[in-house]
Amino acid sequence: MTNQPKVVLAFSGGLDTSYCVPYLKERKGYDVITVTVDTGGFTPGEVKAIEERARSLGVLQHYTVDARARVFDRYASYLIKGNVLRGDVYPLSVAAERVAQAESVAEVALRDRAQAVAHGSTGAGNDQVRFDIAFGVLLPGVPVLTPIRDEKLTREEEYAFLESRGIKMDRKVREFSINAGLWGATIGGGITHDSWKEIPQEVYDQAAGGERVSTSEHVTIGYERGIPTSLNGKRLHGVEIVRDLGVACRRHRVGFGVHIGDTVLGIKGRIAFEAGAALVLIQAHRELEKIVTTSWQRFWKDHLGEFYGKMLHEGHFFDPALRDIEAMIDSSQDHVTGEAKVRLDSGSASVVGVRSPFTMAGSASGVYGEMPKLWSGSDVRGFSTIAAIPSRLYRQAGDGESQRSQ
């Protein structure tokens, strides 16, 4: 043990966070505790390699935290229940995972009584804001150190700094930056920066390769109060459903897309992504929801869900308004229990059937376009007459104004 202050560093094992360790030790005088938070993007071999890298850098302590269940239970579940797709296409694959990572780092900092926390985000992206806000809320008054953002070093300068200390890093230049996690993988860099250019399939394959098939496949997803709880009749935790459904989606090349939109700092950004399980779970949930909820429930819930996604994307998960929205979303899901059947086929996912014990689409109310059971023809005539009154009055008022101007 030493008398030096301690800093807890969010550690991925890549160039930037590896640079942070000796920088914080030598130039800032801290004992460094590293925390790698697994949100679904690491293989066991990668986790082991990261742990070895941390030890080789001389950290005081290293922790690996499995946060996959936290990502699903605390964040992804509300993205499903809220049908949240940013820009109507992107299931926020990164935002929820960054908040979960920040929470885990903060918990270690509190437990180990650290005097500071640190992250390796640059000054250009969204993650710096997400980490800064989360630490500001969870660790008020604790300094947040950001060596990469503050030093503004080139990658070559980082390599040289580490190599001068006997630390070898892979110098292979990667055209694309891939962030993989439970809720999907995002791909940035290279061709993604040009909003006119199509993303080639081989770019997606870097994020999600594996077996490919040419035949279609049906999967059945079971939901309880809006949360997926089974896949093909087998009861599973959400993490397992995302994992197994993701494998099926990749077989059929389902879930590849491009999102362009506003970053937290106000500029436009474009990414490619692979998130088949997330997209299918949201799509299937939306279709099941249609037969068990009223139109006004969906209208207001989805409007609030869009705002919820915006706040999460921009790092404001801890704003109490989101707890209020979660309460409304949860209330709307009382009857969202049942199954959705999805066909996966050559890059597309189609919900081909839904059923629920709470369905409002049963024959008791009549069959759409055929014989009604809850009303008569004269009821509809009166309804239509009354429904037309506001438009008739407006039209008549306009005609009167036209006559007065002649």
Sign, Cα dihedral of 101, 104, 108, 109: positive
Mean pLDDT, the chain, as a whole number? 91
Q: Are strands 268-274 and 256-262 parallel, antiparallel or unpaired?
A: antiparallel
Given a cut of 70, whether residue 364 has pLDDT beyond it is: no
Given a cut of 90, whether residue 252 has pLDDT beyond it is: yes
- Report the candidate in 30, 45, 82, 33 with the shortest Cα–Cα distance to residue 327: 82
- Predicted confidence band of residue 370 (pLDDT cuts 50, 70, 90): low
Do residues 341 and 220 lie in contact, with contact meaning Cβ atoms separated by under 8 Å?
Answer: yes
Q: How far apart are CA 24 and CA 94, in angstroms?
A: 26
Asked whether the beta carbons of 225 and 337 are under 8 A apart, the reply is yes
Angle CA 283–239–62, to nearest 5: 135
The count of C-alpha atoms lying within 13 angstroms of the C-alpha of 8, restricted to the half-sphere facing its C-beta, is: 25
Stretch (H or E) spanning 326? helix 320-332
- pLDDT category at 6 given cuts 50, 70, 90 is very high
Please tell me the predicted confidence (pLDDT) of residue 168.
85
**If we measure between CA atoms, which residue out of 265, 259, 215 comes closest to residue 92?**
259
pLDDT confidence bin for 367, thresholds 50/70/90:
low
pLDDT tens across 294-305, in order? 999 999 999 999
Which residue type occupies 397? A
- Are 130 and 117 in contact by the 8 Å Cβ rule? The answer is no
Residue 312 pLDDT more than 70? yes
Strand pairing of 116-118 and 6-10?
Answer: parallel
Q: How confident is the model at residue 15 (pLDDT cuts 50, 70, 90)?
A: very high
